[in-house]
Amino acid sequence: MGLDVGSLVQDMLGAGKAVLNQDLPALRGFSEQQLEAIARQAILIAEGVADGSIDPATRDYFLKSLAEMTRSFVNTLAGLAAVTAEKLWNGIVGVLWGAINKATGLNLFPPAGGGGS
Amino acid sequence: MPTLVRRGGLLALCVALCAALSACMVQLAPAYDTTIVGGLNSANQDIHALFAQIGTATTPDTFSARKPQYDQIVAELGATETQIRTRPMPSSAAIKKAAAALARMHVAGVAVDPNFTVYPSARAVADLKDTIQHMEAADEKTGLRGGLLAAFQNQAETFLTQAMTYENYLKR
């Protein structure tokens, strides 16, 4: 059985799409939740200053922490993106492995990344 | 004979391709670790229990009753941070490239972030621990109320969410 390039490309696209369909909504949801929390924090700091519970030294601490919240959020987002890139890459490679194994009738190195057909 | 040659060549090509593809299977992020996730879940429960006990306000004269809870949470977070930082890291290049891509998209802070790390959840846990320690100091000194208490709670939950989201995302 030979390799059908057209269907192989479609299978690879399908593997990538499956990963993205699962991961992109999760990344979007996390980002929206974090941005809302960061915006809320700015409001809470202002409320604390207004009600007298946050003194100047504590206000400075919270403002520095607000910047750190934003940077740590972006740092986390980069980490999540790396995981998605791994799943995307291995999913596509898995399809290739599956197609080769199917075409040759061999199963020398089953794909570890999944997605093989 | 030509058929045999073609079959032999195809087999050799496939074996060679499989060998090459095996190198293409990548791990760009660390492995999911149930111990780390368990540590975060415990800290999560203890932090929410502390806020539930605090309610809407505290005064310094009752701080000693909460001191063991603060100690417990700080110890849990310290242990979890160490576990994260000592977990094998397969590749640091991918997250740096992802950060560079985010910087090109003009997402705030990455390009000038001096504390950028390939251990994002360890960073969030360290920030969470720092938050709890500042909250403890404020609780002991002045008590907690109003915007001060709400800001500590929102900050703690935000860092906790960052760490838990990343660690759970590693389950793939």
Check if B58 contacts A (Cβ < 8 Å): no
Is B2 inside any structural domain?
Answer: no
Residues in contact with B36: Cβ distance below 8 Å, sequence separation at least 6, in sequence order: B80, B83, B84, B87, B121, B167
Position A117 scores a pLDDT of 33
Place of tokens 């500590």: B152
Asked if the Cβ–Cβ distance from B162 to A46 is below 8 Å, we say no
- Among B residues 85-144, those touching chain A with beta carbons less than 8 Å apart: 94-99, 101-102, 107-110, 113, 115-118, 120-121, 123-124, 127, 130-131, 134, 138, 144
Residues in contact with A89: Cβ distance below 8 Å, sequence separation at least 6, in sequence order: A113, B24, B26, B28
Query: Which of A7, A66, A57 is closest to A35 using CA atoms?
Result: A66
Between A48, A76, A78, which is nearest B147 by CB?
A: A48
Which of A20, A33, A34, A83 should we substitute to test contact with B (largest number of B Cβ atoms within 10 Å)? Answer: A83
This complex has an ipTM of: 0.84
End-to-end CA distance of chain B: 47
Give residue-wise pLDDT tens across range A44-103: 999 999 999 999 999 999 999 999 999 999 999 999 999 998 888 888 888 887 888 788
Is B22 inside any structural domain?
Answer: no
Number of domains forming the structure of chain B: 1
Position B110 scores a pLDDT of 53
Between B14, B96, B98, which is nearest A104 by CB?
A: B14
* Amino acid at position B107, single letter: V
Asked if the Cβ–Cβ distance from A53 to B107 is below 8 Å, we say no
User: pTM of the entire structure?
Assistant: 0.84
Task: Please report residues of A whose CB lies closer than 8 A to that of B19.
Answer: 109
Is B20 inside any structural domain?
Answer: no
Is B10 inside any structural domain?
Answer: no
Between A74, A76, A103, which is nearest B165 by CB?
A: A76
- The first and second tokens of residue B154, run together, are 């929102």
Query: Which of B94, B125, B109 is closest to A70 using CA atoms?
Result: B109
Is B13 inside any structural domain?
Answer: no
Asked if the Cβ–Cβ distance from B108 to A74 is below 8 Å, we say yes
Q: Which domain holds residue B129?
A: 27-169
Position A115 scores a pLDDT of 34
Q: What is the pLDDT along chain B (172 residues), one digit of tens a residue?
A: 444 444 444 444 434 444 454 546 788 899 999 999 999 999 999 999 999 999 999 999 999 999 999 999 999 999 999 999 999 988 788 788 888 777 777 665 555 688 889 999 999 999 999 999 999 999 999 999 999 999 999 999 999 999 999 999 999 9
State the nearest Cα–Cα gap between B69 and chain A, in angstroms. Answer: 22
Asked if the Cβ–Cβ distance from B148 to A48 is below 8 Å, we say yes
Asked if the Cβ–Cβ distance from B147 to A69 is below 8 Å, we say no
Count Cβ–Cβ pairs < 8 Å, chain A vs chain B: 177
pLDDT at residue A113 is higher than 60: no
Q: 3-state class of A107 per DSSP?
A: coil
Task: Please report residues of A whose CB lies closer than 8 A to that of B118.
Answer: 79
Between A30, A58, A113, which is nearest B148 by CB?
A: A58
